[in-house]
Chain A
Amino acid sequence: MLVREIMTRPVVAIGPDEPIGDVIALMEQRRLRHFPVVDDGRLVGIVSDRDLRTVGSEHPKARPDVRRRDAVRAIMTESVWTAHPLDPIDEAAAVLRRQTIGAMPVVDGDDLIGIVTASDFLDALVRMTGVGRSSTRLEVELPNRPGALAGLLTHVASRGANVASVLTTRSDPEAVVFVLRVGTIDGRSLAHALREAGYEVAWPPADAARETARTA
Chain B
Amino acid sequence: MTDARAPEDSVAFVYSPELSSWALSPDHPFKPIRLELVKDLLHSTGLLAADEVHPPRPLRPGDLARVHDQEYLQMVERVSRGESADEAFHFGLGTSDTPIFRGMHEAISLVCAASATAVDLVLDGQVRRAASFAGGLHHAMPAHASGFCVYDDLAIAILRATDRGLRVAYLDLDAHHGDGVQHAFYESDQVLTISLHESGRYLFPGTGHSYELGAGAGRGWSVNIPLEPFTEDDSYLATFDEVVPRALRAFSPDLIVLQAGADAHRADPLADLALTVAGMRGAYDRVAALADELCDGRLVITGGGGYAAYDVVPRAWAQAWAAMTGRTLPESLPKAWRERWGARLAVRLPTSPVDEPDDRPQPHRLRIQNHNMAVARRLLQVLEPIWREARTPTGRDRAPRKEETT
Interface string of A124-154 (1 = CB under 8 A from B): 0000001111111100000000000000000
Interface string of B181-208 (1 = CB under 8 A from A): 0000000000000000000111111110
**Chain B residues near A210 (CB-CB < 8 A):** 269
Given A134-B206, A135-B205, A216-B311: A185 touches B270 (CB 8 Å cut-off): yes
Q: How close is B84's CB to chain A, nearest CB, in angstroms?
A: 15
Judged by a CB distance under 8 angstroms, whether B80 is at the interface is no
User: Which of A204, A212, A213, A216 meets B272, CB within 8 Å?
Assistant: A204
User: Which of A135, A161, A162 meets B206, CB within 8 Å?
Assistant: A135
Judged by a CB distance under 8 angstroms, whether B179 is at the interface is yes
Q: Judge whether A160 and B147 touch: CB under 8 Å.
A: no
**Chain B residues near A82 (CB-CB < 8 A):** none
Judged by a CB distance under 8 angstroms, whether A186 is at the interface is yes
Given A160-B95, A184-B96: A131 touches B269 (CB 8 Å cut-off): no
Q: Judge whether B269 and A188 touch: CB under 8 Å.
A: yes
**Chain B residues near A213 (CB-CB < 8 A):** 267, 269, 308, 311
Judged by a CB distance under 8 angstroms, whether A56 is at the interface is no
User: Which of B29, B95, B229, B269 meets A207, CB within 8 Å?
Assistant: B269
Least CB separation from B308: chain A residue = A213
Q: How close is B115's CB to chain A, nearest CB, in angstroms?
A: 20
Given A186-B97, A205-B272: A212 touches B205 (CB 8 Å cut-off): no
Distance A189 CA – B307 CA, assembled complex (angstroms): 12
**Chain A residues near B176 (CB-CB < 8 A):** 185
Least CB separation from B312: chain A residue = A213
Q: Judge whether A134 and B204 touch: CB under 8 Å.
A: yes
**Chain B residues near A136 (CB-CB < 8 A):** 203-206
Q: How close is A39's CB to chain B, nearest CB, in angstroms?
A: 40
Interface residues of A in 93-139 (CB under 8 A from B): 130-137
Distance A207 CA – B266 CA, assembled complex (angstroms): 11
Interface residues of A in 171-216 (CB under 8 A from B): 181, 183-189, 203-205, 207, 209-210, 212-213, 216
**Chain B residues near A207 (CB-CB < 8 A):** 269
Q: Judge whether B146 and A134 touch: CB under 8 Å.
A: yes
Judged by a CB distance under 8 angstroms, whether B148 is at the interface is yes
Judged by a CB distance under 8 angstroms, whether B139 is at the interface is yes
Point out which of A135, A162, A204, A213 has the most chain B C-beta atoms below 10 A from its C-beta: A213
Interface residues of B in 229-254 (CB under 8 A from A): 229
User: Which of B202, B269, B270 meets A137, CB within 8 Å?
Assistant: B202
Given A159-B96, A185-B97: A135 touches B269 (CB 8 Å cut-off): no
Distance A133 CA – B144 CA, assembled complex (angstroms): 12
Q: Judge whether B267 and A209 touch: CB under 8 Å.
A: yes
User: Which of A130, A133, A162, A187 meets B95, CB within 8 Å?
Assistant: A162
**Chain A residues near B266 (CB-CB < 8 A):** 209
Chain A: interface residue total (CB-CB under 8 A):
29
Q: Judge whether A134 and B269 touch: CB under 8 Å.
A: no
Q: How close is B114's CB to chain A, nearest CB, in angstroms?
A: 22
**Chain A residues near B152 (CB-CB < 8 A):** none
Q: Judge whether B207 and A132 touch: CB under 8 Å.
A: yes
Judged by a CB distance under 8 angstroms, whether B36 is at the interface is no
Q: Judge whether A160 and B207 touch: CB under 8 Å.
A: no
Judged by a CB distance under 8 angstroms, whether B43 is at the interface is no
**Chain B residues near A185 (CB-CB < 8 A):** 97, 139, 146-148, 176, 204-205, 270
Judged by a CB distance under 8 angstroms, whether B350 is at the interface is yes
Interface string of A162-173 (1 = CB under 8 A from B): 100000000000
Judged by a CB distance under 8 angstroms, whether B268 is at the interface is yes
Distance A137 CA – B201 CA, assembled complex (angstroms): 7
Distance A159 CA – B29 CA, assembled complex (angstroms): 15
Distance A209 CA – B267 CA, assembled complex (angstroms): 5
Q: How close is B313's CB to chain A, nearest CB, in angstroms?
A: 11
Judged by a CB distance under 8 angstroms, whether B348 is at the interface is yes
Q: How close is B112's CB to chain A, nearest CB, in angstroms?
A: 20
**Chain A residues near B207 (CB-CB < 8 A):** 131-132, 134
Q: How close is B393's CB to chain A, nearest CB, in angstroms?
A: 29
Least CB separation from A131: chain B residue = B206
**Chain A residues near B147 (CB-CB < 8 A):** 134, 185
**Chain B residues near A162 (CB-CB < 8 A):** 95
Q: Judge whether A135 and B202 touch: CB under 8 Å.
A: no
Q: Judge whether B206 and A137 touch: CB under 8 Å.
A: yes
Distance A188 CA – B202 CA, assembled complex (angstroms): 11
Q: Judge whether B146 and A203 touch: CB under 8 Å.
A: no
Interface residues of A in 66-80 (CB under 8 A from B): none
**Chain A residues near B267 (CB-CB < 8 A):** 209, 212-213
Least CB separation from A204: chain B residue = B272
**Chain B residues near A137 (CB-CB < 8 A):** 201-203, 206
Least CB separation from B274: chain A residue = A209
Interface string of B260-286 (1 = CB under 8 A from A): 000000111110100000000000000
User: Which of A132, A133, A204, A216 meets B348, CB within 8 Å?
Assistant: A216
16 A-B pairs, CB-CB below 8 angstroms?
A: A132-B207, A134-B147, A134-B179, A135-B206, A136-B204, A159-B96, A160-B95, A184-B97, A185-B146, A185-B205, A188-B269, A204-B272, A205-B229, A209-B269, A209-B308, A216-B311
Given A134-B146, A160-B95, A185-B176: 10 more A-B contacts, CB < 8 Å: A132-B207, A160-B96, A185-B147, A203-B202, A209-B267, A209-B269, A212-B267, A213-B267, A213-B308, A216-B311
Q: Which 10 A-B pairs have the closest CB atoms?
A: A134-B205, A160-B96, A185-B147, A210-B269, A136-B204, A185-B204, A134-B146, A209-B267, A213-B267, A131-B206
